[in-house]
Structure 1
Amino acid sequence: MSVLVKPLVTEKVSSMNEKGKYGFVVKKGANKVEIKKEIEKMYGVKVENINTMVYQGKRKTRYTKSRVLEGRTDAYKKAIVTVAEGEVIDFYAGI
């Protein structure tokens, strides 16, 4: 069972890719050691550093004709992974 949920492909993270940093959404219970092992196994790169952040879900309200709908977005954990100099992770290789 993988601890990686999906790679982050946003404008901010894509600009960090040039510096050797890549973003991933990971499972909440995953620790840095598990994330490092999974990325090294899956992408074949050497991981030097990992920073993790836990984001809380935001409250959302939508006004419709019949009523007001309230809810929350999902909370998630994000990992910023720094790979060794000269190594690259290519997310689009299999497409």
Structure 2
Amino acid sequence: MSIIVKPIVTEKVTRQGELSNRFGFVVDKKANKVQIKKAVEAAYNVTVTEVNTMNVRPDRTTKYTKSGLISGKTNAYKKAIVQVKDGETIDFYNNI
């Protein structure tokens, strides 16, 4: 079972990584904080000091099209914000 699904590379998370060594990941819905910590440490060779998790709810959308009303939703996922030890960093562009 793969704990880390993919890294989150947005402007907000990139800024957090530069300023306070916090990096974001999309993780498996059933993973707990201890499993996430071990997976990040093994994958990126860093020391994790703190893990915060959140469940992101699906967003429902409605579109008015020529063929009628279409409704849909995005997928729900679990997000983890990981803080690494001072002086260490994760480079998503070279490690993947």
> TM-score, normalized by length of structure 2?
0.94
- 1:68 alignment partner, SS class: strand
1:47: Cα distance to partner?
Answer: 0.3
User: 1:29 & 1:36 partners in 2: Cα distance?
Assistant: 14
Give yes or no for contact 2:27–2:77 (8 Å, CA) kept in 1. Answer: yes
User: 1:28 & 1:62 partners in 2: Cα distance?
Assistant: 29
1:43: Cα distance to partner?
Answer: 0.3
Residues 15-56 of structure 1, C-alpha deviation per residue, up to 9 Å, x if partnerless?
001110000011111100110010000000000000001111
User: 1:82 & 1:46 partners in 2: Cα distance?
Assistant: 9
User: 2:66 & 2:4 partners in 1: Cα distance?
Assistant: 40
Aligned residues: 95
> TM-score, normalized by length of structure 1?
0.95
1:62: Cα distance to partner?
Answer: 1.2
Equivalent position of 2:73 in the other structure: 72
Flag structure 1 segments of 5+ consecutive residues without an equivalent: none
Q: Percent sequence identity over matched residues? A: 56
CA RMSD of aligned residues (A): 1.1
User: 1:61 & 1:92 partners in 2: Cα distance?
Assistant: 35
The structure carrying a bigger helix percent of its residues is: 2
1:58: Cα distance to partner?
Answer: 0.9
User: 2:95 & 2:81 partners in 1: Cα distance?
Assistant: 22
Moved over 3 A (4+): none
